[in-house]
Amino acid sequence: MLTALPPAAAPSRGALSSADPVADEASGRLALLTASGEGLSHEELRRRVADVAGLLPGVADGRRLVHLALRPDLASVTAYLATLQAGHVALVTPDDARTGTILDRYLPDVTATGDPERPFDLLTAAPRHLLHPDLALLLSTSGSTGSPKLVRLSRQNVRSNALAIAAALRITADDRAITSLPLHYCFGLSVLHSHLVAGASVVLDEGSVLTEDLWNTVDELGVTTMAVVPHTVELLESTGALERPHPSLRLLAQAGGRMHPDRVLRTAALGRRQGWELAVMYGQTEATARICVLDPALVADNPDAVGRPVAGTSLHLDTTVPEASEGSGEVVVRGPGVMMGYAEHPDDLALGAMLSELRTGDLGRIGPDGLLRLVGRRSGFVKVMGLRIDLTMVESALESAGYVACVGGDDAGLTVLVEPAPGAVPVETAALVRRLAGDASGLSPASVAVAVADLPRLPNGKVDRLGCAALVRGARPDEQPPQEPRTKGPTLAERVARAVGDVLGLDAVDLGRSFVQHGGDSLSHVQASVGLERLVGPLPPGWHHRPLGELVERGGSVDLPGTGLTDGTGLADSAPQRGRWWRSVETSVLLRAIAVVIICGSHADLFHVLGGAHTLLAVAGFNAARFGLSMPTARGRWRASTRTLIGVAMPTAAVALFGMVVQDRYGWANVLLVNWIFGDVAYGFRNELWFVDALIACTVTLAAILAVPWVGRAWRSQPWRVAAVVTLVALVPRFLILFLGEGVLRGIMPTTFWLFAVGAAVAYADTRRRRLLTLAIAVAGGATFFPDDPVRNATILLGIALLTFVREVRLPAWAVPVVGLLASASLYVYLVQFPILDLIPHALGATLTALAAGCLIWHLADRPVRRLQDLLLRPSR
């Protein structure tokens, strides 16, 4: 978890509703009133609710499920409060035909009639359902008012959230709200709860905010607070209703979806001129309405924020979800407002609280100011041609361009329904929106379907997204603007996403995240770097930590020789054009390929060049520092390093187990990768896989060192200095052990760790002075490492020098795929070479066979091993 917000102090005043006793000073004040002038004081409401509650069956005979088609009138509201007062369960729905599915699933025992003379109809003599004692209220999830999936809320949920909202909005007995939102909608119902619990009043009015009658009621009855959703604000901007003076209005409370920061600023500025304030809020039905409130005093400086948690509620971010980007995570809520759980079947009504926290599905960031900012939805992503598209980002781009649009999508592409602009030609609007959506998403415009029409909306004012998608996909061809034929192939963004997705086994790739953030490691970076270099040209330093979108922009801005075009247009295939004869590869990639050939050829006696494996240890340290150990937290470093270790350990253990069972070549110490501890290191018994033992031990050791808090802090700010110091310290066991003993001690972790550490130092040697100092340390450790083999020492130091001073190497284009393949398969070649070399007596044939077999096995095993990594390191939910 990246960061968290603690709960505010819980309020202690108030009651669930005015049906419960209220303070003496509030009892005579109005609680409910209508536009016609009829009203009830809190005391009168309490008595009437008690009388209506007495018409319901007693709970001693079984709690009943009471269906209330809740309307903004005295009879409906009184029946609702009476249901809660009597201890039964209120099933609240809109008053229309869409409730049929719900009622078919959850057959009510009692239904509210809306008739003051006969408030309820008893439908059955005995209760139909077993209802949990804590269950008080059933509401449809936001946006699904016709779905049989319901939110189960307890009395404590309702009461605590009402008190928290009243405290956050500073509602007092002097305040008066109006039913500007439907009461069956959680936000609208919370307005009723929060005002009644504070001893305030609510005007019950069925009018629309677009009518003069409602605004006349606001002014005549002195309404002080009004609840709005973003669509309401859009409508009010078009009518100018808020630009007229409303002397009593003090607060506009907005929730029900994200409002664009520009509109937040405009609305807040208008409020300052007119004498009222804007409070931005965030909530879900599953949290009984409100989760966060942004204090009106902070709105002007933080128009993109939704505030801090309401009293009694805390939240944190789960940064391990796949959709999370740097600094963001899924918003997870705890507190008394978190629902008991969902009901999808009548049997679920008997269940108690099933949740201790609510995973909202919203992605957010918490800034240093403690304010939550929402950045998207986990479900607000679609996968198109392997590219992960953030629909919220596309909608924001269109909104910034002045369009009101709903963006959806599926495997076939994006769907955009855009509202017509006054005076604009629909065909021209669609063409422009298609290009804007393509630019924002990285897709070709041919993958974006656009229709121009008014956005359909749900009764609560939210956009009906399913309806929008249906309108776009269902529009007749002759009503649609002509689309570009897709003859130009995928865009560069799509090709980059596909290349990374193929390497990492991902169905979708987010161009806003880096290769490392997608799970890339030192084992997979070879394939990725070779493939990306083919698409975008030479990769910049630290490319693996840069958002992939930057690489797309880099590739799109590089001229393609002989075409006069850039690859960003998607009009040319960059592979044959850019670097027709020569291409660049990272030096670490080339060293891996050369080293494994040297190792294999030397073991086959094809030639005698030693030092390849020790060079690979330095390369491994270099890559570990760039990938797994580059994470900002100890937990992140352990997690990323474990991913790499699984990729190394699993194939090694499999080969060792096979060799132990079939050939008696290895033992359990090899299978468990601890032969350097339990094997006979003095004489090298079963020591063929020493390199893997050392690699794993070195990785774990450096990760453990960096897990020390003060070392980890230093590593984040000065990684080269930390790596250089670790290398110098590691030289102590290197000299001490080799002074005391011989044998194969030059292949165990204590004597080779300095090589791994010096590779880590090379990764962060960003100045000429640091590179020279790093090489000097390497020379100090390596010049006499093999006292009787100066050529071997020179080979190792040459590899480290190349890694230090040469970032990339230009090679003939035909050689790059071969180098990439050998580098990717280097571990597998190393593992399978020994039994193959024993079977084939001819040195050249044995070497080529071992290289080919290693490459083939890597090709077959890479994807399953990657799936195993994903399975073992799957984030907990």
CATH number, residue 517 = 1.10.1200
Domain boundary among 449, 479, 509: 479
- Predicted confidence band of residue 481 (pLDDT cuts 50, 70, 90): very low
The reported pLDDT for the residue numbered 420 is 87
* Residue range 725-733: mean pLDDT, rounded: 95
pLDDT in tens, 576-592: 334 457 888 889 999 99
Q: Is residue 18 domain-resident?
A: no
Q: Is residue 487 domain-resident?
A: no
The range of the structural domain enclosing residue 431 comes to 380-479
The reported pLDDT for the residue numbered 262 is 86
Q: Is residue 7 domain-resident?
A: no
The reported pLDDT for the residue numbered 49 is 95
Q: Are 229 and 267 in contact (CB under 8 A)?
A: no
Q: Is residue 6 domain-resident?
A: no
The reported pLDDT for the residue numbered 13 is 38
Q: Is residue 555 domain-resident?
A: yes
Name, in order, each residue with C-beta under 8 angstroms of 428's C-beta and a sequence gap of 6 or more. Answer: none
241 and 325 share a domain? Answer: yes
Task: Compare 666 and 101 and report the one with higher pLDDT.
Answer: 666
The reported pLDDT for the residue numbered 555 is 61
- Predicted confidence band of residue 387 (pLDDT cuts 50, 70, 90): low
* Residue range 440-452: mean pLDDT, rounded: 81
554 and 615 share a domain? Answer: no
Identity of the amino acid at 315: L
The reported pLDDT for the residue numbered 863 is 84
554 and 532 share a domain? Answer: yes
Q: Is the pTM above the cut of 0.75?
A: no
Q: Is residue 845 domain-resident?
A: yes
247 and 108 share a domain? Answer: yes
- Gap between the Cα atoms of 22 and 46, Å rounded: 9
60 and 165 share a domain? Answer: yes
- Gap between the Cα atoms of 45 and 33, Å rounded: 11
The reported pLDDT for the residue numbered 553 is 67
Task: Compare 540 and 732 and report the one with higher pLDDT.
Answer: 732
Question: Which whole-number Å values give the CA distances from 870 to 462, 639, 656, 858, 876, in the listed order?
Answer: 37, 11, 23, 18, 12
325 and 179 share a domain? Answer: yes
* Residue range 147-159: mean pLDDT, rounded: 90
Q: Is residue 403 domain-resident?
A: yes
pLDDT in tens, 330-384: 999 999 999 999 998 999 999 999 988 999 888 899 988 899 998 877 777 676 6
Q: Is the dihedral of CA 266, 269, 274, 276 positive or negative?
A: positive
DSSP summary character for residue 632: S
The reported pLDDT for the residue numbered 569 is 28
Q: Is residue 231 domain-resident?
A: yes
The reported pLDDT for the residue numbered 489 is 56
Q: Domain tally for the chain?
A: 4
The reported pLDDT for the residue numbered 508 is 65
User: Which residues lie across from 365 on neighbouring strands?
Assistant: 373
265 and 247 share a domain? Answer: yes
Range scoring the smallest mean pLDDT among 218-232, 473-487, 853-867: 473-487
131 and 55 share a domain? Answer: yes
The reported pLDDT for the residue numbered 325 is 76
The reported pLDDT for the residue numbered 4 is 55
Per-residue buried b or exposed e for 773-796, using 16+ beta carbons within 10 Å of the residue's own CB: ebbebbebbbeebbeeeeebbebb
Q: Which of 689, 647, 648, 681 is nearest to 665 (CA)?
A: 689
Identity of the amino acid at 800: I
538 and 655 share a domain? Answer: no
Q: How far is CA 452 from the centre of its chain?
A: 31
> Which two three-digit tokens encode residue 300?
């002007």
Task: Compare 876 and 43 and report the one with higher pLDDT.
Answer: 43
The reported pLDDT for the residue numbered 147 is 61
* Residue range 173-191: mean pLDDT, rounded: 93
Domain boundary among 355, 373, 391: 373
Identity of the amino acid at 656: A
Residue 417 maps to which CATH number? 3.30.300.30
pLDDT at 71 over 80: yes
208 and 316 share a domain? Answer: yes
- Predicted confidence band of residue 31 (pLDDT cuts 50, 70, 90): very high
Range scoring the smallest mean pLDDT among 7-11, 623-627, 789-793: 7-11
* Residue range 430-450: mean pLDDT, rounded: 82
The reported pLDDT for the residue numbered 784 is 92
Domain boundary among 373, 388, 413: 373
pLDDT in tens, 482-524: 444 444 456 777 778 777 777 776 666 767 667 777 777 777 7
The reported pLDDT for the residue numbered 777 is 95
pLDDT in tens, 813-851: 888 889 989 988 999 999 999 888 888 888 999 999 999
The reported pLDDT for the residue numbered 15 is 39
623 and 762 share a domain? Answer: yes
DSSP summary character for residue 64: -
Percent of the chain with pLDDT over 90: 44
263 and 331 share a domain? Answer: yes
